[in-house]
Amino acid sequence: MPAAAPGRGKLIVGLALVGSIVLMAILADVISPFDPYQQNLRLRLRPPMWNEGGSFAHTLGTDNFGRDLLSRLIHGSRLSVMVGVAAMLLAASLGTLLGLVAGWRGGRAEALIMRLADAQLSIPEILLAILVVAAIGGSALNLVLVLGISGWMVHARVVFGLTRSLRERPFVEAAVSQGASGAFIVCRHILPHLLPVMSVVATLQVAQMILQETALSFLGLGLPPPAATWGNILAEGRERLFVAPWIANLAGASIVLLVWGVNILGNGLRERFDPRG
Amino acid sequence: MLHYILRRLALVVPTMALVLLVVFIVLRITGDPAELFLDATAGPAEIAALRTRLGLDQPLPLQFARFVWDLLHGDFGTSLSHQAPALPVVVERLGPTLQLVAAALGLAVLLGIALGLVAASFRDRLADHAISAVAVFGQSMPSFWLGLLLIQAFALELGWLPTSGSGTAAHLILPALTLSAFLLPNFILVTRTAVLEAKREAFATTARAKGLSPMRVLLRHVLPNALNPIISVLGLQVGHLIAGSIVTETIFAWPGVGRLMIGSIYQRDVPIVAAAVVVVSLVIMLTNLLVDVVQAILDPRVRI
């Protein structure tokens, strides 16, 4: 029997988990049983169906305003996935561009960009994110901008290192000697070589972005209530932890499932592209 | 060695400049300080006078220079809610934060190295797979939910520990556990990789060939040589640990800088927030510096 391709199991588990959550986010309006913002004060803090007093109508129970928890969690997946992916895309674009410039041009551009990356890396993103979001407010766009701009350094470092070593390779030298422009060589000969590693870094970063977004929401710095985000639901559940622990726990479990799925997917990709690692 | 420390110190300057620039921009975004300080009845002439007095009519680079100059003299402005200079208020809360971070760091280092060693010794066996899987799962665990789970288990169900607050050693246990879980997965995985790599080296084979017991080879020959990457991760992560304490302090009502910062954000007490960010950044950078120097002492190769 031939050995299974490296990372296959992880790729399958990760893809299945992340795929179903993304599907849930896309179909949120269709599959959620209730309007996530519809309040019903007579049905406050109903437990999930498996607890005493729960009912099939509200499968996962209701929150402090009688809103259906399942519907809120389904809609919450939307924001987490969207913010996580969008912030990663922004960070990856910025980082790749700067990393390519630093690695290809070398010299002063390299010194400036990589020194900036070092400087920004030594300050945890969340610290400055808290400060900036507190000042400009937590809209989805602001969250993406803040998280994206504070996360470019990983990409830049990886792209920089690979670009510098690729620059010495014969096929790049051949292209240079034929008079190809720098931009052409970078797009045609260097970028394709970077894609596998970049995809691993990008996937693992989505997990970080989601965690940071939910952390900011939890601290009250994400989308303002009543927005149904996982961090908000968890923060609201914390207020009622003694009487309705299921609210916080179900939101927490949702976050863990998504982030864990993304991490597994990223690790699977890494094993596939770099079996030694 | 001195040369290395000086070169490393030179790195602190651009980083601090970056932090100060962000803080400065944020302070200016939050509104014209002159209008904030005066009440609504103040006329344009009074606002203009105050702007001149505060230097707000000068070009932005000059304002930034003045801002940095004030900070260098410990002047972070006056806290509106505490009615006191911002810096002492923040520094006073630094103690509890550092206490919490130190406890979490100790836990993470001890447990991380121990579990990493076990995983590496039983490579590809059940213990290794179990530990590695838990570590990856731990990386996916948001600390704010872990904290709530620990409260439910140990404070509500079992009643062994207080839910939140501070004062006794029992108050420290849950926050320290929560915060250390932030670092533990990384420590486990890095220790595992570093130990596996050191085990392949010639000196490990020699030690085994001399007939030393496996335990002695592991602890006296392999582990010391695996410490370097572990300390590197420590240096990279200690900043995230201090930042992570912001969330942990909020969950457990721990009276540190993080909780002060979040509370001040709600109260729009901008000088406190700015001072907290600058002080925490400075602490992070000094810790990074300390870790790098320790590493350079332990491993001369780093100094090049």
Contacts of A207 in chain B (CB under 8 A): 139-140
Please say whether the beta carbons of B234 and B82 come within 8 A: no
| pLDDT (0 to 100) of residue A99 | 94
Tell me the mean pLDDT in the region B209-225: 82
| pLDDT (0 to 100) of residue A160 | 93
Tell me the mean pLDDT in the region A222-249: 85
Cα Rg of chain B (Å, integer): 24
Domain with A153 in it: 8-30+66-259
Asked whether residue A39 is domain-assigned, the answer is no
Tell me the mean pLDDT in the region A237-265: 88
> Is pLDDT above 60 for A276?
no
Tell me the mean pLDDT in the region B76-92: 82
Give the minimum alpha-carbon distance from A39 to chain B in angstroms, rounded to a whole number. 25
| pLDDT (0 to 100) of residue A1 | 45
Tell me the mean pLDDT in the region B83-99: 87
Asked whether residue A1 is domain-assigned, the answer is no
Instruction: Tell me which residues of chain B, numbers 149 to 208, contact chain A at a CB-CB cutoff of 8 Å.
Output: 149, 151-152, 156
Please say whether the beta carbons of A48 and A59 come within 8 A: yes
Local confidence band at A101 (pLDDT 50, 70, 90 cut-offs): very high
Please say whether the beta carbons of A189 and A175 come within 8 A: yes
Percent of chain A with pLDDT over 70: 95
Higher pLDDT, A255 or A62: A255
Q: How many domains does chain A have?
A: 1
Asked whether residue A180 is domain-assigned, the answer is yes
> Is pLDDT above 90 for B79?
no
Tell me the mean pLDDT in the region A36-53: 74
Residue A210's CATH number: 1.10.3720.10
Q: How far apart are CA B158 and CA A136, in angstroms?
A: 43
Alpha carbon dihedral B96, B253, B257, B55, in 10-degree steps, equals -150
Q: Model-level pTM?
A: 0.84
Classified as helix, coil or strand, A68 is strand
Could you count the other beta carbons within 10 Å of the beta carbon of residue B244?
25
> Is pLDDT above 90 for A98?
yes
Asked whether residue A253 is domain-assigned, the answer is yes
Asked whether residue A269 is domain-assigned, the answer is no
Q: How far apart are CA A144 and CA A87, in angstroms?
A: 5
Of A122, A131, A237, the CB nearest to B284: A122
Specify burial of residue A241 (Cβ count, 10 A radius: 0-12, 13-18, 19+): middle
Tell me the mean pLDDT in the region B130-158: 84
Q: How far apart are CA B6 and CA B11, in angstroms?
A: 9
Q: What is the phi-psi region of residue A251: left when phi exceeds 0, alpha when psi lies from -120 to 50, beta otherwise?
A: alpha
Q: What is the phi-psi region of residue B31: left when phi exceeds 0, alpha when psi lies from -120 to 50, beta otherwise?
A: left
Q: Is A17 on the interface with B (CB under 8 A)?
A: no
Model confidence pLDDT, tens digit, residues B22-61: 888 877 776 655 555 556 666 777 777 777 766 677 777 8
Predicted ipTM of the assembly = 0.81
Which tokens hold the place of B120? 């590496």
CA-based nearest residue in chain B for residue A134 = B265
Asked whether residue A272 is domain-assigned, the answer is no
> Is pLDDT above 70 for A4?
no
Asked whether the beta carbons of residue A130 and residue B246 sit closer than 8 angstroms, the reply is: yes
Please say whether the beta carbons of B262 and B68 come within 8 A: no
Asked whether residue A275 is domain-assigned, the answer is no
